[in-house]
Each structure stands twice: as structure tokens, then as C-alpha cells.
Amino acid sequence: MTAHILDGNALSASVRGQLAEDAAALTARGVQPCLAVILVGADPASAVYVRNKVAACEKAGIRSLRFDYPQDADPDTVLARIAELNADPSVHGILVQLPLPPQFDEAAVLEAISVTKDVDGFHAENVGRLSQGQEAFFPCTPHGVMKMLEAAEVPVKGAHAVVIGRSNIVGKPMAMLLLRAGATVTVCHSQTRDLAEHTRRADILVAAVGRPGFVTGDMVRPGAAVIDVGINRLKEGPNAGKLCGDVDFESVRKVAGVLTPVPGGVGPMTITMLLANTVESARRAARAQGV
């Protein structure tokens, strides 16, 4: 078997095309979707992510505001900016790029963002709403994975899904979304014994570990849908400097039924779902204003 490779760039382009239309329609009604992005410090990876998010907004007709602070910024200054953005009715989404420097209490910063503008879906109330099956902003990466499964017509209801990783930004919300969609979910992590015993029983296997080539073909059930969330930059070897996922692409593609590549898989869908959440937030604001 050779896996069907899911093209995250193509899906992303089509979803972003629809979002641009939605944004234009809202703008015509006087509510242009607007995302505020806060970056603290000079971490090069964070700077690239922020630049890409702002560029994607512009391309989709979403207004973006960017606020940069130095590495030694006073947390109170950033919290004051968040309070200002919370109160500004023209702003629909607020994103604080993580990680934050050590003087910040990350959880407190995320909690300071208004739940109605928390387009990253990291606020504890949104997390609770997600787990209770209520309307919520879903974290962008796992939300993007769900869209990819849907687009590839991978059945989720009744499937056995195995998620490797239990972080707050990927693993845990991924498990919640799969559960919400009717899967039977196993969450594996660094303390899991006999990992391959679990992964081999997965109809859907999501890898969010942060280790290059961690999932190999012998860990995968024939025909399974394998979603590679990992983004790792290789430090050595002939491919040094290149990006690769948590899945050993060559061995897994021979076994899986469906597989996402890195790059060009889940990555582009993450920013797409951020745009989707921002447009949705603007739609809710327009509805509340009766326009």
C-alpha cells in the first residue's frame, strides 16, 4: 500500500479563498475582521510565525495590528495593551505569540485575553467549553487537523484515534476534538509504556511529539490515517537545516492509508484556522451589533 498524501497547501488555499470572501462581505457591512498580534522578545522562530500570520491576514482582507515588545518587557505593560485591545470593538482577535520570556506568567497572560477574542483558543474558559461540547474557539493546530480529516473523508465517528503528545496547545485539545467528533481516543505521552502497542491499534494516529522521524512504519496499522503535526529542524546529516515531521515519511507511507507531509501538511492549516477563528469572531460581533 502507498498512502494517499494530503496536500495541506491546497486545502489551505481553498479554505483561505472562502475566508477572504467572508471577510470582504463583513467589511462591506462595516465590520472588517481584525486580528491583533503581540510579540515579546526576539526569538527568530516566533518572529517568523508572527510575520506569516500578519501576511496571511493581509492576503485574506483581514486587518492586522502588530505590537512588538523587547525581551525584558514589563508584563504589566503587555497586560495593559491586552486590556486596551479587549475594550476596542474594532478588534476581533488577540493573539500573544508563545513562548513568553521568563518574567511572564504565561497562563495569566492568556487568561487576560477576553474569551470572545481568544482566537488561539488557549483561554481556560475556551478549553472548558471545548471539553463540554459548547461553542468555543478551537486551538488552531488541532482544528486544522480535523479539517484535514474531514476533507480527506476519513471517518472519525467510532474510529480509534491515538494521539501522541499531551501538550496544552496540540495533544490535549486534539484528543478533545476527536472525542467530540465521536472517536474513541487514547492519549500517549512520554510516560506511556509499550507505545507501539497503542499506535498499532490506531485507525487515526496523530503525532505531536517534537522528535524527527519518531513514528516509524512498524508502529502503524496498515491503512491508518497518519497525521504528522511535528515541525523539527534537522541539526545534522545530509538534510541539516531542513524541516521534517515526527513521522518517518518513507517507512510510514508504505503502510498508512492517508498521510500528511512536512512541510506542506498540518502547518499551513494552523494559520488558516487562525484566520477562520478571527472571521468567526467578527461575524459574532456583527451579529451582536445587528449588522
Q: Does 9 bind ligand NAD (CB under 6 A)?
A: no
Exposure of 93 by Cβ count < 10 A (0-12 exposed, 13-18 middle, 19+ buried)?
Answer: buried
Instruction: Please tell me the distance from the alpha carbon of residue 54 to that of residue 160, in angstroms, as a whole number.
Output: 37
Instruction: Please tell me the distance from the alpha carbon of residue 193 to that of residue 252, in angstroms, as a whole number.
Output: 21
Q: Does 12 bind ligand NAD (CB under 6 A)?
A: no
| CB of 215 closer than 8 Å to CB of 252 | yes
Q: Does 188 bind ligand NAD (CB under 6 A)?
A: yes
Q: Does 243 bind ligand NAD (CB under 6 A)?
A: no
Binding mask 97-116 for ligand NAD (x = CB under 6 A): --------------------
In this complex, which beta carbon is closest to ligand NAD, that of residue 25 or of residue 47?
Answer: 47
Residue nearest to ligand NAD (CB): 167
Alpha carbon of 230 to those of 17, 42, 85, 135, 188: distances in Å?
Answer: 26, 23, 32, 28, 15
The answer to whether 97 is a known catalytic residue is yes
Q: From 289, 283, 288, select the one nearest 92 (Cα to Cα).
A: 283
Q: Does 199 bind ligand NAD (CB under 6 A)?
A: no
Tell me which of 22, 120, 203, 248 is the catalytic residue.
120
Q: Give the binding range for ligand NAD (CB under 6 A) out of 89-97, 150-158, 166-174, 272-280.
A: 166-174
Q: Which amino acid is at 38?
A: I
Q: Does 3 bind ligand NAD (CB under 6 A)?
A: no
Instruction: Please tell me the distance from the alpha carbon of residue 201 to that of residue 196, in angstroms, as a whole number.
Output: 9
In this complex, which beta carbon is closest to ligand NAD, that of residue 32 or of residue 251?
Answer: 251
Q: Which residues bind ligand NAD (CB under 6 A)?
A: 141, 164-167, 169-171, 188-190, 192, 195, 208-210, 229-232, 266-267, 270
